[in-house]
Structure 1
Amino acid sequence: MTLPRPHRDDLLIAAGGLATGLLMWGFGLHLQTGRLIDARWVTLIPLCVMAAMETLRRSMPQTALVVGTLALVADQFTPGSLVTALMFTDLVYAAVVYGTPASARRIPYTTGLITIGVTIGFLVWWQNAIALLVGVISGMVSFLPAMTGAVVRNHRQAADAARLRAEQTALLAEMDRTHAVVAERARMARELHDMVANHLSAIAIHSTAALSLDDTATTRQALTVIRENSVEGLAEMRRLIGLLRDSSGDAEPTAAPTLDGLDALVGQARASGEPSGLTFTLGDARSRAGGPLPAPVELAAYRIVQESLTNALKHAAPGEVRVELDRRRDGALTVAVTSALGGQRQSGPRAPGSGAGLVGMEERVALLDGEFEAGPVTADDGRRQWRVRAVLPVGTSDREPQAWFG
């Protein structure tokens, strides 16, 4: 078994103690006379043993204390050295500071009991006040260093616990920051998709029509719609970029869209879908239930209708696209958009889709603890339809703060 390598500071303490003890021995300075062994050189044996134990004060504190205790007892039978006693106090201190938790708790009690026992024993033996002085010296050599070590150890443990809490707090803060960044990027992706996809889909559809149909009036109408959607899409992009850079003070926050703008939204879709044989109608039954809707609910409903109309322009078969809004008895808003579902269009251009729109709608509804479904259904007349339906409760809408861009 190899002994652990002594710490550099422990080697310096041992060397300093040994050098000081030798210097005092050289000048003939001793603690006592008339001991069992009066030879001066014998004093060097406990001194050297104590100095050797100082090298182990940090790596093997319990062993150093036991051997040091034996060396101190042996020193009492010699003329004695003050340095030996001082190095022993350091071993007691180190055993509490660097030892195991059990020994750190046990040593102060043990040294306290030893101090009391020594004091009482000498009082009974000598029956004079000198016994009290011996008890005080015994306490200063053993109990006082042990209590000092206990205080230092407790402070170090408190500092370590505080540092660990600070590291954990910083880790949690970093996790929260990362989560907030991811959530904000997802929100930005939804908003960007919902704002721009509608305009770009209309541009794609009408540009395809302008290229495929050799009719001046149709081409002119398609180019007009393309220009309108290009201008509106560019304005939306500028507002979004301005809001993302609002720290510079160059942009003013813009209001989020509300359900009051559905008429214009459906009218725009009607103009874009006319060449494809699509008709658009809006049924708004919200007046049957009173009370305004929270802003997050209105924004989510508007974006769901906007994305559903965009998908209808891309994929729906010729026929009616119907938007229906209603309020339930509990105040929840229901949004439903249905469109004809069939084979490929016989006429009219189409635009490709990425599938991100359905994901964005579902995320919006999930943030409000609502219900969302999208898929084919069978209408009352037996025709197949594609339906998007969302139920947006108003009681939990404050979970998502109002979007800061529209």
Structure 2
Amino acid sequence: MNDSPTAARRRIPPPHRDDVIIAAAGVLGGLLLWSLGVSNTGSRHFFPDWVALVPLLVIGPVVLLRRSAPAVTLPVGMAATAADQFTVGNLATIVLFTDLMYAAVVYGKPSMARRLPISTGLVTVITTIASVALVGPAQGLLIGVLTGIVCFGPALTGATLRNHREAAIAARLRAEQTALLAEMDRSQAVVAERARMARELHDMVANHLSAIAIHSTAALSIDSPATSREALGVIRENSVQGLAEMRRLIGLLRDAGAGQEAVATPSLDGLDALLEQARVNGGASGLEFVLDDARQPGGGPLPAPVELAAYRIVQESLTNALKHAAPGRVRVRVARADGLLTVDVESPYGEQPGPRAPGSGAGLVGMRERTELLGGEFTAGRQGLVWQVRAVLPAEEKAVTA
């Protein structure tokens, strides 16, 4: 059972090595003083001289518990010290009591550590006033000073040390918390950067690879030299453009790591070229691509993150149209009004004849992330016989950098 004597002994921690040394030194020192006849109150003879050893032998073993049970050792030490005053006295008993007072403040509960310096200070003041009134100023002040040295001095020293220790612990905890927060910020920054690069890589390469997949499938499935030659031309063009985009991304990574100027990023000025490329890639699938740029001239430049996000949303929407749209017209509309940039891409919804490229859904996720990072709104879904992608982005400089 847990209440057995063995279990109880296990709950009491063994005394610290320093406590053993203090207790042994105090008791041996007190025995030496007594054997030499050195006493504190030699004029008092209430009891035989050997009785002075009783408080010493009581307070000495108590010192072994100065760390583990200060709430117990201090009252016992006070009683032993009070009893010592009725004997010839032993200086070692007083010294051991001062150590118990110090340990009670350092190792005791916070409430004890707060009360003892105040209470011992009041005791010192009251003792000094009473002694001056009873025995005169000179001896009274001496008694007050001795009382302060025995009671208030150790308590004040312990409180000072404890405050320094608590301040050091608090500083260490703050440093650990700061390091933890810094590591969390670093991890979040790494995750955010990886997500950004994943979007860039997908948006740049997926369009070209989708075209390559569609036309290579067509070249393999249609036994026509003209069709194969046309498909190979589209494949080569997309391969070259995809390789150029990859080189641009690699250059951006290297230059950004070296602190150099990054390569120019795509903007809405390149939408004409983007749709022209889509026309080449989607002509065999019966798709027609139309750009409706409703932006008013003189509206001022767009923030770079917004411009890049709008371009990538159009690019990914065209890629999805090449992979999934039915034959018909794909309309891209860009408008700017009331501090907002609106991007709409509509494509025919239905089964696409001929070869198709597989999709993973990562494109829609990337478009939504781009929009939400800038504080915009993104929707994508079927509207009757049309698949519509719509993104509303803030067109002011306060836009969040993606």
TM-score by length of 1: 0.92
Q: Are the equivalent residues in 2 in contact too, given 1:288–1:327 (CA < 8 A)?
A: no
**Counterpart in the other structure of 1:282:** 291
Q: Which residue of 1 aligns with 2:263?
A: 254
Q: Look up the equivalent residue of 1:360 and give its one-letter code.
A: G
Aligned 8 A contact 2:302 2:397 in 1: no
2:296 partner SS = helix
Which deviates more, 61-70 or 152-161? 152-161
From the superposition, tell whether residues 128 and 217 of structure 1 become closer, same or farther in structure 2 (CA, over 3 Å): closer
| Counterpart position of 2:376 | 370
* 1:352 counterpart residue number: 358
Are 1:292 and 2:289 matched, yes or no? no
Q: Contact 1:372–1:389 at 8 Å: present in 2 too?
A: yes
Name the structure, 1 or 2, with higher relative contact order (CA <8 Å, separation 6+).
Answer: 1
Task: State the partner residue of 1:335.
Answer: 343
Instruction: Write out per-residue CA displacement over residues 243-276 of structure 1, whole angstroms, 9 at most, x where no aligned residue.
Output: 3344775986211110111111100010000111
User: 2:346·2:386 contact (CA, 8 Å) conserved in 1?
Assistant: yes
> Separation in 2 of the partners of 1:164 and 1:392?
43
**Residue 165 (structure 2) aligns with:** 156
Deviations 1:321-374 (A, max 9, x none): 11111112x1211111111112x233x321110000001001111011111111
Aligned to 1:404: none
**SS of residue matched to 1:400:** coil
Equivalence for 1:223:
232
- Counterpart Cα distance in 2 of 1:78 and 1:318: 114
Matches within 5 A, 1:147-186: 147-186=156-195
SS in 1 for 2:391: strand
Inter-CA distance 400–128: structure 2 relative to 1 (3 Å threshold): closer
Say which of 25, 28, 35 aligns to 1:16.
25
| Paired amino acid for 1:336 | D
| Counterpart AA for 2:237 | E
Counterpart of 1:80 (choices 74, 85, 89) is: 89
**Map 1:205-216 → 2, pairs under 5 A:** 205-216=214-225
Residue aligning to 1:381:
none
Distance 1:250 1:367 in 2: 24
Q: Is 1:198 paired with 2:198?
A: no
Structure 2: distance between partners of 1:317 and 1:339: 8
User: What code does the residue aligned with 2:252 have?
Assistant: L
**Aligned Cα RMSD in Å?**
1.9
Deviations 1:375-401 (A, max 9, x none): 1113xxxxx111111111124753225
Q: CA 1:252–1:115 in 2, change beyond 3 Å: closer, same or farther?
A: closer
Q: CA offsets per residue over residues 279-317 of structure 1, 9 Å max, x none?
A: 111111112561211111110000000000000000000
Secondary structure in structure 1 of the residue aligned to 2:343: strand
Is residue 46–residue 72 contact of structure 1 (8 Å, CA) maintained in 2?
yes
Separation in 1, partners of 2:396, 2:254: 33
Does structure 1 retain, via aligned residues, the 8 Å contact 2:303–2:397? no
- Does the 8 Å CA contact 2:303/2:396 hold for their aligned counterparts? no
Aligned amino acid, residue 115 of structure 2: R
Aligned counterparts of 1:312 and 1:125: Cα–Cα separation in 2? 105
Secondary structure, counterpart of 1:354 in structure 2: coil
Q: 1:244 to 1:283 in 2, by over 3 A?
A: same
Moved more, 199-208 or 213-222: 213-222
Q: Which residue matches 1:390?
A: 391
Q: Is the 8 A contact 2:306 2:399 kept in 1?
A: no
Which moves more between the two structures, 136-145 or 232-241?
A: 232-241
Structure 1 runs not aligned, ≥5 long: 379-383, 402-406
Change (3 A) 1:167 1:87: same
Structure 2 counterpart of 1:319, one-letter code: G
Question: 2:140 and 2:20 mapped to 1: Cα distance?
Answer: 36
Please give the per-residue CA displacement for 1:85-128, whole angstroms capped at 9, x wherever unaligned.
11111111111111112211211122122212222222222234
Matched residues, percent identical?
A: 64
Q: 2:62 aligns with which of 53, 58, 61?
A: 53
| Contact preservation (8 Å) 1:289, 1:327 | no
Unaligned runs of 5+ in 2: 1-7
Partner residue in 1 for 2:4: none
Q: Structure 2 vs 1, CA of residues 250 and 118 (structure 1 numbering), >3 Å: closer, same or farther?
A: closer
Tell me, in whole angstroms, the C-alpha distance in 1 between the residues paired with 2:127 and 2:398: 75
Output the CA distance in 1 between the equivalents of 2:48 and 2:208.
107
Partner of 1:103: 112
Does the CA-based 8 Å contact 1:338-1:386 persist in structure 2?
yes
Match of 1:322 in 2: 331
User: Which position in structure 1 is the counterpart of 2:3?
Assistant: none
Q: Would you say how many aligned residue pairs link Structure 1 and Structure 2?
A: 393
Q: Secondary structure at the match of 2:115?
A: helix
Q: Relative to structure 1, is the Cα distance of residues 244 and 200 closer, same or farther in structure 2, using a 3 angstrom cutoff? A: same
Aligned 8 A contact 1:104 1:150 in 2: yes
Q: Distance in 2 between matches of 1:228 and 1:20?
A: 98
Instruction: Check 1:247–1:14 CA distance in 2 against 1; reply closer, same or farther (3 A cut).
Output: farther
